[in-house]
Structure 1
Amino acid sequence: MIFIDFQNCFICILLCLFSLLCYSLFFRKPKDPRLDFDLPPSPPSLPVIGHLHLLLSVLVHRSLQKLSTKYGSILYVRVFSFPVVLVSSASVAYEIFRTHDVNISSRGFPPTDDTLFAGSFSFISAPYGDYWKFMKKLLVTNLLGPQALERSRGVRTDELDRFYKNLFDKAMKKESVEICAEVLKLGNNSICKMIMGRSCSEENGEAERVRALVTELDALTKKILLANMLRMGFKKLVVALFKKEMMDVSCRFDELLERILVEHEEKLNMHHQGADLMDTLLAAYRDENAEYKISRNHIKSFFSDLLFASTDTLVQTTQWAMAEIINNLIVLERLRGEIDSVVGKTRLIQETDLPNLPYLQAVVKEVLRLHPPGPLFGRFSQEGCRVGGFYVAEKTTIMVNAYAVMRDPGSWEDPDEFKPERFLASSRSEQEKERREQAIKYIPFGSGRRSCPGENLACFFIGTAIGVMVQGFEWRIKEEKINMAEAVIGLSLTMAHPLKITPVSRTLRSLT
């Protein structure tokens, strides 16, 4: 009897503690920090969840942009009781990255430790520190720096030629083309060859598995971002809701990448002279005196990060670009005229042609301005600071709406119009002035230390892919205009109606 009473008492105590925890997390109204600090303005919130409903919007970048026009370009919101600062103007974003770059160079704590992506092994989500600096150095030296890009140019040239010939074959057969699918093959094959010296095999289904995994990972990113806004204890509780999904994708990536690692190790054991990023990573893994000791999971996580980040940018931007070009015949004719005059009509456009094609470069920049592949990106304040005249507390998630920044009417004339001419300058002095202005208001690849290091590679890819499709083909569509409605998969801005068009070759023989 005494035991039963003690057991009931213990259960009662546990229930009281659990109720107190729930109350503190969900129902207790958080103390208003405005009593102590001058925080940014805050729109009305809902009980318990705060402003969470705004971040769950189908087109969250649009809903946040609309919110900023009403309440201001820097806003204070909360997810449950956790603070988030939203930035939607070029001037405030520039102030953050110019003055507080080191303070906000982390993305918060990883939501989970035991997955290859968004975990403790991930380069993308790693805190700003020794590991991130070491991997960034390897990445620039062996893949994304000017010398590395020069060494791998032949790989991209071969894949671009294969991309063109595939389109030419479909044109001869009068077949329609799903732009996303074709560009995804181009991107995956190029990136895989640059990283590990070979593309993923189409014959045994390896390439298809990689593309499927990248797509699934993309769909998880919005959940990961929302979880990353929360403090560690509550974050783990939220992650538990989709942990099984994360682990499934992670395990399948692990199985695929382990086979690739074993293949490379066998080559190294046969005195293979390393020339790609994977060889360099394996050498660092084996080196006991390396600047930073990495594991096999670090390598596999790094590979999955690169595949996800690179192919998504290429695919979405190229699709948006072709839609904008086809909908704007004046742009199409001017772009095609430039390519024909500089490159000619007998050979295929190459990366080395891009510096001589300023209008093509302007088209790429304008597409990235209007349709950034990642419309939102997040940072995490290590210490309290002042931004735009307001106080941002320590351990606050800072979310920059790149979509809104690059459509800010205070920075851009006719911000919602597709006008590549805005990126053309007639003189060297104007070019320098425009470059300085763009550093403030043009952020499709983020800004600061944690900006995307693959900007140059992305512009090569997108510029040549667009160039090939404009130079080599006319394009037929069923409707009078392409539907430009937006959709968001994960955090990627894509077209609600994937672009499917029919190529008509401009020549009877394929270009060489």
Structure 2
Amino acid sequence: MEIQLLFFFATLIFLFLLAKQWNTSRTQKLPPGPWKFPFIGNLHQLIGSLPHRSLKNLSEKYGPLMYLKVGELQTIVVSSARIAEEVLKTNGLIFADRPELLLTKIMFYNFSDLGSSPYGDHWRQMRKLCVMELLSPKKVQSFHNIMEEEFLSLVSCIQSSQGVPINLTEKLLEAESAIICRAAVGRRCSDQKELITLARETASFAGIFNVGDVFPSLKFLDSLFGSKRKLVDMHKKVDVILENIIHEHEEDQTGDEAVEEDLLDVFLRLKDSKEFQVSITMENIKANILELFSAGIETSSTAIEWTMAAMTKHPRVMEKAQAEVRQAFRGKEKISDGDVQNLSYLKMVIKESLRLYPPGPLLGPRISKEKCIISGYDIPVNTIAVINGWAIARDPDVWDNPEIFEPERFSNISTSYTGAHFELIPFGAGRRICPGISFGIAGIELSLAYLLYHFDWKLPGGIGPEEFDMTEKFGATAGRKHSLCLIPTSYVPLNKSS
């Protein structure tokens, strides 16, 4: 009898949810999309897969603007440049906010960082601070010496291991970690290794579904599954480290204007400044320093890794890029920023790598503050917008031979990745575009110039380019599934290059 009653009530609930879903679709002209199960919606089509690939496959059937239910969340998925522009530019103010996620609430001091804070006066002031002070072209230029020193150290390390396979993935992570640490807090801090580990764990959480994020009515389950407790424990560890770093900075401040400010110095200088209408709190400072570590390290190292992998897969491109670099730097040991700016082919290689292998294939989600119309369809309030930048950059309606790695395609077109051209948006676009583009690109260009100038590269174990695996792994940052292991041979040894 109890089983029959349970089955009866379960059937009633199922029919109620089905009727509700059907009624909603009748009263609103929603974008097309696959059939949705009651309660879980389309969640089953995303779990256990590479979401950017699954969503691209679905868009090929249902179109470039697609409606899904991810758990309880109304979601639209955008897979074309035209509709991305409509969401991020035409309706940019409506989609200026981020959804509130467990990760960003706990780890980033209740949405105190630029990336997750609500759109408004405070966000605008933080954005202004980033653009004018933290990541301005002048400030990025001041970090060039740090990048140069760390990449020379990387070259020296690789040179000592030449002729044998090295894990370039780990080497690049170490170099980028050191650069971010020195740029952010001025030195290789004593807790650097633990902070970097925690920052990488924070970044990895961004690719995980938390129950309360997709089922807001079941937020209490986050505590039962342990994800909330783990994030709280991580946050406590991060907070202790950041407090120590800030305390050391405050004690070490000498007022010497000749000493180059790191990013934490800038934050502390502006904390009580009258220049900004909204005060900067210690929570803002700590949240944004953590964001620099969690968003900056893996994104940059992954972009460099994919570019090296793509050139390894296509030896013709590698040889052409090496020839350009070696001609430009002949007889030099140190590579200047001015030298790098003239490497037109290397810039095309990087652009093509970012097109095919963007570190963040899905842009950070947005949420609509009010209902609107996109491409003729009704978009309800509180709808999550997911922009599939990976799919957009492989759209055959925009790109010739989109699956082919061909840097020369950019020799005749002016498409940039700075948000002006929506067919190529590896750093995002609109109000929430990544403020660190110039910093990230400077490091990517310089590192590749050093690696191509000083070394020849080949695959280990007799593997040929055609057998070289280019599969990506699951995560908010889509790195390679397998570490990039290559054999370096010195072409211009450090001690003989001048």
Q: Partners in 2 of 1:224 and 1:257 — Cα distance?
A: 27
Matches within 5 A, 1:368-387: 368-377=354-363, 378-387=365-374
Which residue of the other structure, out of 329, 335, 350, is the alignment partner of 1:349?
335
Q: Partners in 1 of 2:435 and 2:418 — Cα distance?
A: 19
Q: 1:306 to 1:23 in 2, by over 3 A?
A: farther
Q: Partners in 2 of 1:144 and 1:408 — Cα distance?
A: 32
Asked if structure 1 preserves the Cα contact closer than 8 Å seen for 2:454 and 2:493, the reply is no
Asked if structure 2 preserves the Cα contact closer than 8 Å seen for 1:227 and 1:239, the reply is no
Asked if structure 1 preserves the Cα contact closer than 8 Å seen for 2:159 and 2:493, the reply is no
In structure 2, the partner of 1:54 is 45
Letter in 1 for 2:356: L
Asked if structure 2 preserves the Cα contact closer than 8 Å seen for 1:39 and 1:391, the reply is yes
How far apart are 1:149 and its partner, in Å?
A: 1.3
In structure 2, the partner of 1:455 is 437
Which residue of the other structure, out of 389, 397, 422, is the alignment partner of 1:410?
397
Matched, 1:480 2:471: no
Give the share of equivalent positions with the same residue, in percent. 29
User: Which residues of structure 1 form unaligned runs of 5+?
Assistant: 1-18
Q: Partners in 1 of 2:301 and 2:161 — Cα distance?
A: 19
In structure 2, the partner of 1:166 is 157
Which residue of the other structure, out of 279, 284, 301, is the alignment partner of 2:265?
279
In structure 2, the partner of 1:177 is 166
How far apart are 1:38 and its partner, in Å?
A: 1.1
Q: Partners in 2 of 1:471 and 1:453 — Cα distance?
A: 29
Matches within 5 A, 1:197-346: 197-201=186-190, 206-223=191-208, 228=213, 231=216, 233-235=217-219, 237-238=221-222, 241=225, 242-268=227-253, 270-271=254-255, 273=257, 275-286=261-272, 291-346=277-332
Q: Provide the secondary structure at the position in 2 that maps to 1:163.
A: helix
How far apart are 1:60 and its partner, in Å?
A: 1.1
Q: 1:165 to 1:393 in 2, by over 3 A?
A: same
Q: 1:346 to 1:290 in 2, by over 3 A?
A: closer
Asked if structure 1 preserves the Cα contact closer than 8 Å seen for 2:211 and 2:218, the reply is no
Q: 1:406 to 1:235 in 2, by over 3 A?
A: farther
Q: Partners in 2 of 1:345 and 1:112 — Cα distance?
A: 49
Alignment length (residue pairs):
481
Letter in 1 for 2:179: S
Q: Partners in 2 of 1:353 and 1:234 — Cα distance?
A: 56
Q: Which moved more, 1:313-322 or 1:208-217?
A: 208-217
Letter in 2 for 1:499: L
Q: 1:243 to 1:25 in 2, by over 3 A?
A: farther
Deviations 1:438-481 (A, max 9, x none): 61200101110101111111111111111111111011312113
Asked if structure 1 preserves the Cα contact closer than 8 Å seen for 2:52 and 2:388, the reply is yes
Asked if structure 2 preserves the Cα contact closer than 8 Å seen for 1:58 and 1:488, the reply is no
Q: Partners in 2 of 1:140 and 1:464 — Cα distance?
A: 22
Q: Partners in 1 of 2:64 and 2:126 — Cα distance?
A: 34
Q: Partners in 1 of 2:32 and 2:109 — Cα distance?
A: 31
In structure 1, the partner of 2:381 is 394
How far apart are 1:366 and its partner, in Å?
A: 0.6
Asked if structure 2 preserves the Cα contact closer than 8 Å seen for 1:218 and 1:489, the reply is no
Q: Provide the secondary structure at the position in 2 that maps to 1:223.
A: coil
Q: Provide the secondary structure at the position in 1 that maps to 2:92.
A: coil
Asked if structure 2 preserves the Cα contact closer than 8 Å seen for 1:68 and 1:74, the reply is yes
Letter in 1 for 2:404: E
In structure 2, the partner of 1:107 is 98
Q: Partners in 2 of 1:226 and 1:406 — Cα distance?
A: 31
How far apart are 1:36 and its partner, in Å?
A: 1.9
Q: Provide the secondary structure at the position in 1 that maps to 2:434.
A: coil
Q: Which moved more, 1:316-325 or 1:181-190?
A: 181-190
How far apart are 1:123 and its partner, in Å?
A: 2.3
In structure 2, the partner of 1:155 is 146
Q: Partners in 2 of 1:62 and 1:120 — Cα distance?
A: 29
Q: Partners in 2 of 1:139 and 1:507 — Cα distance?
A: 38
How far apart are 1:498 and its partner, in Å?
A: 0.8
Q: 1:230 to 1:411 in 2, by over 3 A?
A: farther
Q: Partners in 1 of 2:53 and 2:28 — Cα distance?
A: 29
Deviations 1:289-331 (A, max 9, x none): 9522233222111111111111111111111111110111110
Q: Provide the secondary structure at the position in 2 that maps to 1:132.
A: helix
Asked if structure 1 preserves the Cα contact closer than 8 Å seen for 2:106 and 2:235, the reply is yes
How far apart are 1:388 and its partner, in Å?
A: 1.6
Q: Provide the secondary structure at the position in 2 that maps to 1:84.
A: strand
Asked if structure 2 preserves the Cα contact closer than 8 Å seen for 1:177 and 1:501, the reply is yes
How far apart are 1:140 and its partner, in Å?
A: 2.2
Q: Partners in 2 of 1:329 and 1:398 — Cα distance?
A: 39
If the length of structure 2 is used for normalisation, what is the TM-score? 0.89
User: Which residues of structure 2 form unaligned runs of 5+?
Assistant: 1-8
Q: Partners in 2 of 1:436 and 1:159 — Cα distance?
A: 26
Q: 1:177 to 1:345 in 2, by over 3 A?
A: farther
Q: Partners in 2 of 1:154 and 1:437 — Cα distance?
A: 28
Q: Which moved more, 1:279-288 or 1:243-252?
A: 279-288
In structure 1, the partner of 2:6 is none
Q: Partners in 1 of 2:233 and 2:490 — Cα distance?
A: 43
How far apart are 1:351 and its partner, in Å?
A: 2.4
Asked if structure 2 preserves the Cα contact closer than 8 Å seen for 1:58 and 1:487, the reply is no
Q: Partners in 2 of 1:500 and 1:210 — Cα distance?
A: 26
Q: Provide the secondary structure at the position in 1 that maps to 2:246.
A: helix
In structure 2, the partner of 1:196 is 185
Letter in 2 for 1:403: W
Q: Partners in 2 of 1:435 and 1:83 — Cα distance?
A: 29
Q: Partners in 1 of 2:266 and 2:93 — Cα distance?
A: 28
How far apart are 1:34 and its partner, in Å?
A: 2.5
Matches within 5 A, 1:40-189: 40-111=31-102, 115-117=106-108, 119-171=110-162, 174-189=163-178
Q: Partners in 2 of 1:367 and 1:452 — Cα distance?
A: 18
Asked if structure 2 preserves the Cα contact closer than 8 Å seen for 1:219 and 1:490, the reply is yes
Deviations 1:414-460 (A, max 9, x none): 111111111113xxxx54x7789961200101110101111111111
How far apart are 1:103 and its partner, in Å?
A: 0.9
How far apart are 1:145 and its partner, in Å?
A: 1.1
Asked if structure 2 preserves the Cα contact closer than 8 Å seen for 1:92 and 1:388, the reply is yes
